[in-house]
A and B are shown apart, each in its own frame.
Chain A
Amino acid sequence: MDSYDTPESTPRHSASSKLKDYFIGATPLQKRLESVRKQTSFIPTPPRRKIPQCSQLQEDNDPQKVAFLLNKQWTLYSLTPLYKFSYTNLKEYSRLLSAFIAAEKQKGLAVEVGEDFNIKVTFSTLLGMKGTQRDPEAFLVQILSKSQLPSENREHKVLWTGWFCCIFGDSLLETVSEDFTCVPLFLANGAETNTAIVGTWFQKTFDCYFSPLAINAFNLSWMAAMWTACKMDQYMAATEFLWSVPCSPQSLDISYAIHPEDAKALWDSVHKTPGEVTQEEVDLFMDCLYSHFHRHFKIHLSATRLVRVSTSVASAHTDGKIKILCHKYLIGVLAYLTELAIFQID
């Protein structure tokens, strides 16, 4: 029951790359229909990805303006396209969302001790947070608390931050009509109750759907390789991996930390094609780490589950938590996360 045509070449040139060549020029929707008809499974993982570079658009934006996005832990969600969302109505939306949050809190659904109900919601666009010109503008939602005391500077304390973005989301943008705004990646920082309330409002208002974005071990090892490949002037943190060993009664965790320059040296010895990362390079990079560990500790890390990767560029946890440390590669990190979010939506 052979449904592929076999190329007379090594298994590296697999069916998926042949499918890719065949479908250049077709929209993703057409590709999917074609593959369903042919009864092949269209697995959209490219065998190679670009190493994150500083994008042109990012250089235009002010590092200070996006500095608050760095060094914070964000919880990731994937979001289906928003129906009839308009960037001109942001003030209207902030008013509606404030009213909704106040109503929800008074219902007693999310009551916190000692909290005043004077909250303000702001919607603002984040300029420069996009991969290509086609990507929709990223926007930010913040819940601020208005202080009761009549102080002079009236500092608003930020209670919760969430932002929506789309970086290189071409594959999704092509499949939706104009009424929809595609911002598939949602990042939230703050209390879980607030995330739930904001999520409910968005789902009711724009007929979209949030789902938590988990990052599996396969994607974490890709992230480790891509972030180690990034050229850094100065390394702020060691490269650290955390594995979870499945055993009873309680799972064990194995933590492996490497000096970032050693990790980069290992990557450079593995890396062949300039500017691109391939599946073989990622596998080889991880295998080197596994075999080194095995030589010393006689434990096969490849039989365990990679749970957390932490480098000087960013750190990611399998539960869908990310912390970006480096401004230079912000867009690159977000591009990969957008890809994962789009994959989850599909």
Chain B
Amino acid sequence: MSVLRPLDKQPGLNTATILLVGTEDALLQQLADSMLKEDCASELKVHLARSLPLPSNVNRPRIDLIVFVVNLHSKYSLRNVEESLRHVDATFFLGKVGFLATGAGRESHCSIHRNTVVRLAHTYRSPLLFCDLEVRIAWAQGKGSQSTMGVSRTLLRGSSSA
């Protein structure tokens, strides 16, 4: 089984690569789009994956940050993330992994308790952000919601240290 290691490839010149892992395809796409719109010091590449391990036959750059997206409304997404975490090398968790829990705004739709995700992030010593990527604000300009842009800005600030 191939395991993601942080330092097994040469870093790209002035590029940063973020990997988003999660089952919610539409949300990941939206988040990736808004991240690419943000100003970034280096050239930003965003990869999307439903789960790990990634197919090994593809040539891809070194990954600088992995964000695991858990949808609080779906236990399936949590299980998927838990399965995927096994395919990440332990050294990745030294600041190159983050958790994003979406759907936190609508408590009535949640099937996972917040504490479960908090515990997961705590076990892996990685930061956790709660957000709601599906909330749309009527007057947001362009595509993507205000909250998605806010989330992407926070993630990029974190990844710029990588």
Complex CA gap A279/B23 in Å reads 24
Q: Is the CB of A318 within 8 A of B113?
A: no
Are A318 and B108 interface neighbours, CB within 8 A? yes
Residues of chain A lying within 8 A (CB to CB) of residue B77: 303
**Interface of chain B residues 53 through 93 with chain A (CB within 8 A):** 73-77, 79
Tell which of B79, B113, B118 touches A218, judged by Cβ atoms closer than 8 Å: B113
Complex Cα spacing A303 to B77, Å:
7
Tell me the bound Cα distance from A302 to B113 in angstroms.
14
The reply on A221 being an interface residue by CB < 8 A is yes
Chain A residues with Cβ below 8 Å from B109 are 216-217, 305
What is the 8 Å Cβ interface bit string for chain B, positions 108-136, against chain A (1 contact, 0 not)? 11111111001100110101000000000
Tell me which residues across on chain B come within 8 A of A218, comparing CB atoms.
Answer: 110-113
CB of B79 within 8 A of CB of A302, answer yes
Q: Is the CB of A43 within 8 A of B110?
A: no
Whether a CB of chain B sits under 8 angstroms from the CB of A300 is yes
Q: Given the complex of chains A and B, what is the CA–CA distance between A306 and B125 in angstroms?
A: 31
Question: Is A214 in contact with chain B by the CB < 8 A criterion?
Answer: yes
A81–B75 Cα gap in the complex (Å)? 35
Shortest distance in angstroms between A104's beta carbon and chain B's nearest beta carbon?
Answer: 30
Expressed in whole angstroms, the Cα–Cα distance for A302 and B80 within the complex equals 11
A255 at the interface (CB under 8 A from B): no
Number of interface residues of B (CB under 8 A): 22
Quick one: closest A residue to B124, CB to CB?
A11
Cross-chain contact B76 with A302 (CB below 8 angstroms): yes
Q: Kindly state the separation between the CA atoms of A342 and B125 in the bound complex, as whole angstroms.
A: 32
Expressed in whole angstroms, the Cα–Cα distance for A246 and B26 within the complex equals 13
Most buried by A among B79, B107, B111: B111
Contact A302 B74 (CB under 8 A): yes
Taking the nearest CB of chain B, how far is it from the CB of A117, in angstroms? 37
The prevalent SS among residues of B at the interface is helix
Q: Which residue of B lies closest to A303 (CB)?
A: B76
Cα A300 to Cα B73 with chains together (Å): 13
A235 at the interface (CB under 8 A from B): no
Q: Please determine whether B110 and A217 come into contact, CB atoms closer than 8 angstroms.
A: yes
Check B108–A214 contact: CB distance below 8 A: yes
Q: Can you name the residue of chain B whose Cβ is closest to the Cβ of A14?
A: B119
Which of A4, A217, A221 has its CB near the most chain B CB atoms (within 10 A)?
Answer: A217
Contact A2 B74 (CB under 8 A): no
Closest B residue, CB atoms, query A44: B115
Give B134's nearest chain A residue, CB to CB: A246
Contacts of B110 in A (CB 8 A): 216-218
The chain B residue with its CB closest to the CB of A319 is: B108
A4-63 contacts to B, CB under 8 A, are 4, 11, 14-16, 41, 43, 45
CA gap between A215 and B74 in the complex, in Å: 16
* CB <8 Å contact, A15 and B122: yes
A-B contact pairs, 27 of them (CB 8 A): A2-B122, A11-B123, A14-B115, A15-B118, A15-B122, A41-B114, A43-B114, A43-B115, A214-B107, A215-B108, A216-B107, A216-B109, A216-B111, A217-B109, A217-B110, A218-B110, A218-B111, A218-B113, A286-B75, A290-B75, A302-B74, A302-B111, A303-B74, A303-B75, A303-B77, A305-B109, A318-B108
> Other than the known A43-B118, A217-B111, what 14 A-B pairs have Cβ atoms closer than 8 Å?
A1-B127, A2-B125, A4-B122, A214-B108, A216-B108, A216-B111, A217-B110, A218-B113, A279-B113, A286-B75, A302-B74, A305-B73, A305-B109, A305-B111
Chain B residues with CB under 8 Å of chain A are: 23, 73-77, 79, 107-115, 118-119, 122-123, 125, 127
